[in-house]
Amino acid sequence: MTTPRITDSHCHLDFPDFDEERPEIIARALEAGVHRMVTICTRLRNEPQVRAIAEANDPVFYAAGTHPMSAAEEPMATVDELVALAQHPKFVGIGETGLDYHYTADSAEVQKTSLKVHIDAAQETGLPLIIHARAADDDMARILTEAYRAKPYACVMHCFSSSADLARAALDCGFYLSMSGIAAFPKSKDLREIFASAPLERILVETDSPYLAPPPYRGKRNEPGYSVHTAKIGAETFGLSYDEFAAATEANFERLFAKAASWSAA
């Protein structure tokens, strides 16, 4: 019997947590049925190292942007810079970008400027925007929606753990919500209800590893193979078998990250 295949749509394989055993971590993911991973560069000066991981590993794709928590201390990205990076065959998304007022509310204006640069790049390249949102729901919904109405673009709300209102605003634009290990935590019943009320065709799974390991690994270092545990909770949330949920999220990933899908076909 074959293991259903899924994609970890958001991880950080360049982080030092993985330096000692990166090949083994990728191998474990493949063994678990996680046949594809998107590793995310959060500071553009690290893009060469992140690109190298994607180039060296067939199942790994990458995206790059300036994380909102780093926006004030990193050089401001430019649309031209992001568009140039997007020419790489394994570069499949813009970001992560977004707003985080939980830890870095003092840099809100810089974060908004950075976010708009990334939105412009997503609109220009046609690649999906990858959004980090924390404690900034109203600004997040307003900026994303206004930009979408001006010129439509594709987007995923990565590691979604915000309000039902932000979920609704994102879904109204045709965006995707990604389930991380947070959705698998026992106390995340309200979050699972937000996912359950969303269309199945707008759901992705991810680890955000090395962070947010789902049970039974909670509190330990997360890794891409553990997205299987989140996907099992996702299947329960939608009242589906694991095979059905895996197939649905794979189709969703390939629709949103079409560049990664076409690489697979090639």
Q: Which domain holds residue 258?
A: 6-265
Q: How many domains does the chain have?
A: 1
| Under-70 pLDDT residues of the chain | 1, 264-266
Cα-based angle 245, 248, 254 (whole degrees, multiple of 5): 140
Whole-angstrom distance, CA of residue 50 vs CA of residue 42: 10
* 27 within some domain: yes
Helix (H) or strand (E) holding 98: strand 91-100
* 1 within some domain: no
- Give the model's pLDDT for residue 167: 98
Whole-angstrom distance, CA of residue 94 vs CA of residue 129: 5
Which CATH number do you get for residue 220?
Answer: 3.20.20.140
* 207 within some domain: yes
pTM for the full predicted model: 0.97
- Give the model's pLDDT for residue 266: 56
Whole-angstrom distance, CA of residue 11 vs CA of residue 207: 6
- Give the model's pLDDT for residue 20: 93
Q: How many CB atoms lie within 10 A of CB 264?
A: 13
* 238 within some domain: yes
Whole-angstrom distance, CA of residue 169 vs CA of residue 144: 9
